[in-house]
Each structure stands twice: as structure tokens, then as C-alpha cells.
Amino acid sequence: MSEITWEPLIQEFLDGLLAGDYDRASTISRKTMQQGATPAEFFLECITPALVEVGNRFETLEICLPEMVIAAEIVRKINDEIVQPLLLEDRGAGGSFRPLGKVVLATIQGDLHDIGKNMVALLLKVNGFEVVDLGINVPPAVIIDRAREEQADIIGMSSLLTTCLPYMKDMVDQLKAGGLRESFAVIIGGAAPTDEFAERIGVDGVGHSAAEAVRMCKAIMGARTTAV
Ligand code: B12
């Protein structure tokens, strides 16, 4: 971990987001990574808390939906143009490699949030997984069909809206009803699902960061390899 004091940077980055100022936010991003922060660290330590604060201000009506939309758009652009290319560079020479496992990933039905899900997809790829990203607002049946088609090892579902949690349960119930529960490991994440919810619906893991997603997937595949 780099020796960076994050609080002032988060505040500056947040100010950029709330002012709808891409240049300001992207300059902070570039500068911080030049000072030694890794892209993953910058995403976790600066982008994520700034977005949580944007959400808090939306919840308390200090800002309105258009401001949240603009903040999200700036973050999407910074991720695409700065964070992602640097993360992929970190991956090294690349070339042909045998993936650690195949993950079918989706934001669940009803939910359009994808900044966190996209980071999960990226970090899994950087860590050697093959990822089939189905995007946002994906119905449970579509996830299951694709997981079967792709012969996936793991299904990952993301949700930031508590109103969409029932669709996660529905996906697991559909797997059980189809006799497929043992065919895939299922992990969930995003801001909405709690540990208690995960236990109740019977998934293999719940995570609240992209790093946790990677750890869980590695543990699942490791467990499978040793079991063979
Ligand atoms: C940006 C944002 C938006 C953007 C989304 C843009 C986009 N392309 O994603 C826009 C403006 C479109 C939006 C819309 C809405 N939003 Co919104 N949004 C947010 C905000 C501010 C940030 C979300 C975010 O990107 N966080 C940063 C990322 C990095 O974190 P993350 O998603 O949690 O992901 C990390 C982990 O959770 C984990 N993870 C994620 N997925 C997975 C999956 C697996 C398998 C694993 C293991 C881990 C994992 O790893 C990720 C990376 O570390 C949050 C505030 C908050 N506290 O989250 C509100 C928030 C989620 N939104 C909220 C609401 C209410 C809405 C709207 C209903 C508003 C409205 N009135 O229209 C709509 C819903 C639209 C829809 N149907 O989905 C509420 C939800 C409340 C609730 N309890 O349900 C929140 C919490 C704001 C608030 N405090 O009120 N939103």
C-alpha cells in the first residue's frame, strides 16, 4: 500500500464530481497514480468513498438525480480512460494462459448500477479469470441459461438496490428447481446484499469489494482443484 493521505484527495475528487468537472477529477486521478497509488488502490480508496458520499447526499436531498448521474458518468469515463488501461498494463505480458475459471457476471434484474460490477469483472480478468459479463438488468432465467451455455464455474450477481434482492433469491430458487444448484458456485455482492441475506438464500459467498470477489473466486476454484 502506498503512503498516501486519502482524506483530502477524496474531498477534492468529490468536489470535482459534484461540480460536474471531469478535468478536475481526472487530474486528481492521474496525479495520485503518478505519486504511487496503484489503480486498484485508487478505485478502492478514493473513487468508492467519493461515490458513497454522492449517494449519501442524494439520500439526504442535498443533491438531485441529475447530479448523481453526472458524477457516475465522470467516474465511468475515468475508469475507462485511466484506471482500466493502467490495471490491464499491470497484468503484464498477457499472451495465452489457462484461465483459473469462468465467471458469468450480471447486475440483477431491475438494477442499472454497474460501476462496481464492472470493476469486479476487470479485477477478475486481471487475476486470470475468464469473465462473461451479461451487463445490467439481467433476469434470473437469462443468467442461468448463459451460465449453462458457457459451462461457467461461478455465477456472480451484483445489486445496489434493496428492491432487487428478491431477484437474487429467485435466481437461486430457479437453480434449485432445475436441479442445477450444485453445477455452479454462486456469489453475490454490491451494496444491497447483507451476510444474513446471503445465508438465507443459500449462496456460496457475499462480498463488498472487487478484491473480495477475486478472493472468493480463487478460493472456490482452489477448493475445486483440490477436490478433484
Ligand atoms: C452512481 C449511482 C447511481 C448511478 C448508476 C450509474 C451506473 N452506471 O452504475 C445512477 C445515477 C444511474 C443511479 C440511479 C439510481 N440510484 Co443509485 N447510486 C449510485 C451511487 C451514488 C454509487 C454507486 C456506485 O457506483 N458505488 C461505487 C461502487 C464501486 O461500489 P459498489 O457498486 O458497491 O461495488 C463494489 C462492491 O459492492 C463489490 N461488488 C459489486 N458487485 C459485486 C458483485 C459480486 C459478485 C461481488 C462479490 C462483489 C461486488 O465490488 C465493487 C467494487 O469494489 C450509490 C450510493 C452508494 N452508497 O452505493 C447510489 C444508490 C445505490 N442509488 C440509489 C437509488 C435509490 C437509485 C435510484 C432508484 C434513484 C432514482 N430515484 O431514480 C436509481 C435506480 C436506477 C436503477 N433502476 O438501477 C440508492 C439505493 C438505495 C437502496 N437501498 O436501494 C443508493 C444507495 C443512494 C442512496 N444512498 O440513496 N445511481
Distance 193 CA to ligand 1 centre (A): 12
Judged on CB neighbours under 10 Å (0-12, 13-18, 19+), 72 is middle
Distance 20 CA to ligand 1 centre (A): 18
What is the DSSP code (8-state) at residue 79? I
Instruction: Confirm or reject: Cβ of 210 under 6 Å from ligand 1.
Output: yes
Which of these, 64, 87, 79, 96, lies nearest to 25 by C-alpha position?
79
- Identify whether the C-beta of residue 168 lies closer than 8 Å to the C-beta of residue 109: no
pLDDT confidence of 3, banded at 50, 70, 90? confident
Q: Please indicate, yes or no, whether residues 139 and 219 belong to a single structural domain of this protein.
A: yes
The sign of the CA dihedral 206, 212, 213, 219 is: negative
Q: Please indicate, yes or no, whether residues 68 and 175 belong to a single structural domain of this protein.
A: no
Q: Which range marks the domain in which residue 38 is found? A: 6-90
| Domain total in the chain | 2
Position 87 scores a pLDDT of 86
Please identify which residue in the block is written with the cell numbers 456469489: 187
Whether the predicted pLDDT of 225 surpasses 80: no
Whether the predicted pLDDT of 96 surpasses 60: no
Instruction: Confirm or reject: Cβ of 193 under 6 Å from ligand 1.
Output: no
Q: Please indicate, yes or no, whether residues 75 and 152 belong to a single structural domain of this protein.
A: no
Whether the predicted pLDDT of 189 surpasses 80: yes
Q: How far apart are CA 99 and CA 195, in angstroms?
A: 29
pLDDT confidence of 20, banded at 50, 70, 90? very high
The pTM is what?
0.93
Percentage with pLDDT > 90 across the chain: 87
Secondary structure of 116-150 in HEC code, one letter for each residue: HHHHHHHHHHHCCCEEEECCCCECHHHHHHHHHHH
Q: Mean pLDDT over residues 136-165, rounded?
A: 98
- Which residue, of 90, 119, 151, is where some domain finishes? 90
Position 91 scores a pLDDT of 67
pLDDT confidence of 99, banded at 50, 70, 90? confident
pLDDT confidence of 228, banded at 50, 70, 90? very low
Position 105 scores a pLDDT of 98
Q: Please indicate, yes or no, whether residues 60 and 148 belong to a single structural domain of this protein.
A: no
The mean pLDDT value of the chain amounts to 93
pLDDT confidence of 224, banded at 50, 70, 90? low
Whether the predicted pLDDT of 195 surpasses 90: yes
Ligand 1, residue 68: give the atom nearest the CA: 11
Q: Please indicate, yes or no, whether residues 201 and 118 belong to a single structural domain of this protein.
A: yes
Q: Please indicate, yes or no, whether residues 121 and 211 belong to a single structural domain of this protein.
A: yes
- Which residue, of 60, 90, 120, is where some domain finishes? 90
Q: Please indicate, yes or no, whether residues 160 and 135 belong to a single structural domain of this protein.
A: yes
* Nine-digit cell string for 82: 485511466
Q: Please indicate, yes or no, whether residues 78 and 137 belong to a single structural domain of this protein.
A: no
Distance 191 CA to ligand 1 centre (A): 7
Distance 228 CA to ligand 1 centre (A): 38
Position 43 scores a pLDDT of 93
Residue 199: inside a domain:
yes
Which of these, 70, 97, 77, lies nearest to 14 by C-alpha position?
70
Distance 196 CA to ligand 1 centre (A): 20
Position 97 scores a pLDDT of 57
Position 77 scores a pLDDT of 96
Q: Please indicate, yes or no, whether residues 141 and 55 belong to a single structural domain of this protein.
A: no
Distance between start and end Cα atoms, the chain: 36
- Which residue, of 90, 112, 137, is where some domain finishes? 90
Q: Please indicate, yes or no, whether residues 175 and 217 belong to a single structural domain of this protein.
A: yes
Phi, psi values for residue 152, rounded to 5°: -70, 155
Q: Please indicate, yes or no, whether residues 161 and 200 belong to a single structural domain of this protein.
A: yes
Q: How far apart are CA 139 and CA 112, in angstroms?
A: 12
CATH number of the domain at 63, please.
1.10.1240.10
Atom 49 (ligand 1): residue with closest C-alpha? 189
Task: Out of 3-12, 28-37, 87-96, 209-218, pick the least confident.
Answer: 87-96
Position 2 scores a pLDDT of 64
Q: Please indicate, yes or no, whether residues 63 and 112 belong to a single structural domain of this protein.
A: no
- For 41-89, what is each residue's pLDDT tens digit? 999 999 999 999 999 999 999 999 999 999 999 999 999 999 999 988 8
Ligand 1, residue 162: give the atom nearest the CA: 84
Please identify which residue in the block is written with the cell numbers 495465452: 96
